[in-house]
Amino acid sequence: MTTTVPTAGQAGLERILARAQEICDRETARLLERTPASAALYQRAYRTLPFGVVSSFQKGAPYPIYVSRGKGSHVWDQDGTEYLDYHGGFGAMVAGHAHPRIVEAIHEAASRGTHFAVTTEVGVAFGEEICRRFNLEMIRFANSGTEATMDAIRVARAATGRDVICKIEGSYHGHHDAVMFSIVPNADVMGGRERPAKAPVSRGLVKDAHKYIEVVPFNDAVLLERLFQEKGKEIACLIMEPAMMNIGIVLPDPAYLRRVRELCTQYGVIFIYDEIKTGFTIARGGATERFGVQPDLVCLAKAISGGLPAAAFGGRADLMRLIEQGVSQMGTYNGNPLVAHVGLVMLTEILTPAAYQHFARLGARLVAGCNAAIARYEIPAHTVDLGAKGCVSYRPTPMTTYRDFLETRPELFAASYPWLLNRGIFMTPGDEEQWTLSVQHTDADIDAYIEVFAGFCAELRR
Ligand SMILES: Cc1ncc(COP(=O)(O)O)c(C=O)c1O
């Protein structure tokens, strides 16, 4: 799934970095010149929205590129320029845009009434389908990944009577206080490798929130065991992205996940998968199916409902039944008939086994094309291919843990971003993300990406 190709040595690297700076300057100037409508909308939006955007992850320098519509594998920006979409709404849009069946399903649900705050049969059926895919005994709905992880953590705390959460250095689990630590810590605040610091990511957190968090590196069961030996009796849960997807993509060592499972059972720590990105994108049953290790609870969102704001968490019945015994879990819009009907259509009619074969075939084609360019031009980069998700990361060898991400070359990403945009490829603005393929992407779309990316590699070497 990860591929490393031979690259040039240090002398070559310095030359490439100098070229990257030139490309970045030139392409950014061109981007700004051809996006006056985005600039104007930014001026307007900035007056009412902090950073001029509806969520801080969408900000961009000097302004974000605003999108006005999408169809199939394409999006159009505020200036009317058409792009092939590899951004995929941060991983939510595996159906592609305005998929005819999703549009129809929205109409069907809307015509019957979108919201009653009463459980409907379709809500029950949606839950059953997710449980089947992820081998969950029970489930509850929410409206965002943030809510799903917040609720799963509350259940884990109630189940164990313990307060501390263990998380992986460099993972993101949403923006509630409990998990706003050590997301992409800078080298100067991250502490030692064996006991990473609990670096807060936001102002305004409860002052002693750090007392309730422990941070460990990914893919290292020895350090996890050491922490559990020391503090296991205080730790309610371990929450992890089974494949890290907020620093490019870091794959788990299968033996690591198996060992983590054993350790959590041994120390009575609830094992929570945050499958908000991996769920529905990397296999029918997400990472739970793909890597073959069953956690106690799974959190889901993003690709669950055709681009509508739905989320869920579920798992062992004895844990989920705590909601009947004093654990609060609620939400006016949870599992409403609109998201439930569209979600059920999404899972049963669109994300079929054929869809996953499609992702696998296109992903392999895309990565093969990128690898050929990386090898030909000796670019210090590697690729990862994981179902509908994949990435080029500017480090010669695959990452195994967060600290490897600090060795990637942001200069190369910074040059690639405007290069791709100026040639019709819409990507996420940060190197911590990855591409998302949809069922509406075609071979021709993949080849277009490869051609533009190969041009970028050639330009770095000119
Ligand atoms: C792994 C992971 N967990 C949780 C979240 C939070 O989800 P949401 O933005 O829906 O609150 C994200 C969002 O990017 C995520 O990537």
Give bridge partners of residue 2 from the DSSP assignment: 384
The predicted-structure confidence for 209-232, as pLDDT tens digits, reads as follows 999 999 999 999 999 999 999 999
The predicted-structure confidence for 328-379, as pLDDT tens digits, reads as follows 999 999 999 999 999 999 999 999 999 999 999 999 999 999 999 999 999 9
| 3-state per-residue secondary structure call for the chain | CEEECCCCCHHHHHHHHHHHHHHHHHHHHHHHHCCHHHHHHHHHHHHHCHHHCCCHHHCCCCCCCCEEEEEECEEEECCCCEEEECCHHHHCCCCCECCHHHHHHHHHHHHHCCCCCCCCHHHHHHHHHHHHHHCCCEEEEECCHHHHHHHHHHHHHHHHCCCEEEEECCCCCCCCHHHCECCCCCHHHCECCCCECCCECCCCCCCCHHHHEEEECCCCHHHHHHHHHHHHHHEEEEEECCCECCCCCECCCHHHHHHHHHHHHHHCCEEEEECCCCCCCCCCCHHHHHHCCCCCEEEECHHHHCCCCCEEEEECHHHHHHHHCCCCCCCCCCCCHHHHHHHHHHHHHHCCHHHHHHHHHHHHHHHHHHHHHHHHHCCCCEEEEECCEEEEECCCCCCCCHHHHCCCCHHHHHHHHHHHHHCCEECCCCCCCCEECCCCCCHHHHHHHHHHHHHHHHHHCC
CA-closest candidate to residue 448, choices 366, 393, 367: 366
Token reading at 391: 């990435």
Query: For residue 341, how far is its CA from the centre of ligand 1 (angstroms)?
Result: 22
Q: pLDDT at position 1, please?
A: 65
Query: For residue 33, how far is its CA from the centre of ligand 1 (angstroms)?
Result: 33
Residue nearest to atom 9 of ligand 1 (CA): 145
87 pLDDT more than 70? yes
- How would residue 168 be classed by pLDDT, with cut points 50, 70 and 90? very high
Q: pLDDT at position 11, please?
A: 74
Place of tokens 């296999």: 283
Q: What whole-number distance in Å separates Cα of residue 408 and Cα of residue 383?
A: 12
Q: pLDDT at position 61, please?
A: 83
Place of tokens 């969950």: 136
Q: Return the higher-pLDDT residue of 156 and 433.
A: 156
Determine what percent of the chain is predicted with pLDDT higher than 90: 94
Query: For residue 17, how far is its CA from the centre of ligand 1 (angstroms)?
Result: 32
Q: pLDDT at position 3, please?
A: 60
Give bridge partners of residue 238 from the DSSP assignment: 166, 271
Atom index in ligand 1 nearest the CA of residue 309 equals 10
Give me the phi and psi of 13, to 5 degrees please.
Answer: -65, -45
Q: What whole-number distance in Å separates Cα of residue 183 and Cα of residue 90?
A: 17
Atom index in ligand 1 nearest the CA of residue 174 equals 6
Q: What is the mean pLDDT of residues 57-61?
A: 89
- Ligand 1 pocket mutation, candidates 173, 298, 304, 432, criterion most atoms within 8 A of CB: 173
Give bridge partners of residue 83 from the DSSP assignment: 75
Q: Return the higher-pLDDT residue of 291 and 2.
A: 291
Instruction: Report the chain's terminal Cα–Cα distance, integer Å.
Output: 30
Q: What is the mean pLDDT of residues 151-177?
A: 98
The predicted-structure confidence for 11-34, as pLDDT tens digits, reads as follows 788 999 999 999 999 999 999 999
What residues are in contact with ligand 1 under a 6 Å CB criterion?
A: 90, 144-146, 149, 172-174, 241, 246, 274, 276-277, 301
Q: What whole-number distance in Å separates Cα of residue 454 and Cα of residue 462?
A: 12
Q: pLDDT at position 81, please?
A: 98
| Residues in the chain, total | 462
Q: pLDDT at position 48, please?
A: 98
Residue nearest to atom 3 of ligand 1 (CA): 173
β 82-85/425-426 pair status: parallel
Query: For residue 458, how far is its CA from the centre of ligand 1 (angstroms)?
Result: 35
CA-closest candidate to residue 166, choices 178, 148, 184, 151: 178
The predicted-structure confidence for 371-429, as pLDDT tens digits, reads as follows 999 999 999 999 999 999 999 999 999 999 999 999 999 999 999 999 999 999 999 98
Q: What is the mean pLDDT of residues 241-245?
A: 98
The predicted-structure confidence for 436-461, as pLDDT tens digits, reads as follows 999 999 999 999 999 999 999 999 99
The predicted-structure confidence for 128-138, as pLDDT tens digits, reads as follows 999 999 999 99
Atom index in ligand 1 nearest the CA of residue 90 equals 14
CA-closest candidate to residue 340, choices 99, 147, 132, 115: 115
Token reading at 70: 């999408």
9 pLDDT more than 80? no
What Å distances lie between residue 59 and 46, 51, 66, 415, CA to CA? 11, 6, 10, 18
β 2-4/382-386 pair status: antiparallel
- How would residue 7 be classed by pLDDT, with cut points 50, 70 and 90? low
Q: What is the mean pLDDT of residues 271-275?
A: 98
CA-closest candidate to residue 363, choices 253, 277, 451, 439: 439
Q: What is the mean pLDDT of residues 2-18?
A: 73
Give me the phi and psi of 341, to 5 degrees please.
Answer: -65, -45
Residue nearest to atom 7 of ligand 1 (CA): 145
Place of tokens 């002052």: 207
**pTM higher than 0.95:** yes
Q: pLDDT at position 4, please?
A: 57
Q: pLDDT at position 10, please?
A: 72
Residue type at position 41? L
- Which domains does the chain carry? 2-94+352-460 (3.90.1150.10), 100-350 (3.40.640.10)
Provide CB contacts within 8 A for 378, sequence distance 6+.
Answer: 6, 7, 8, 12, 461
Task: Answer whether 75's CB lies under 8 Å from 69's CB.
Answer: yes
Provide CB contacts within 8 A for 11, sequence distance 6+.
Answer: none
Task: Answer whether 286's CB lies under 8 Å from 279's CB.
Answer: yes
Q: pLDDT at position 405, please?
A: 96
Query: Mean pLDDT over all residues of the chain?
Result: 96
Place of tokens 């690729």: 383
Q: pLDDT at position 223, please?
A: 98
Residue nearest to atom 16 of ligand 1 (CA): 277
Query: For residue 299, how far is its CA from the centre of ligand 1 (angstroms)?
Result: 10
Q: What is the mean pLDDT of residues 197-205?
A: 93
8 pLDDT more than 80? no
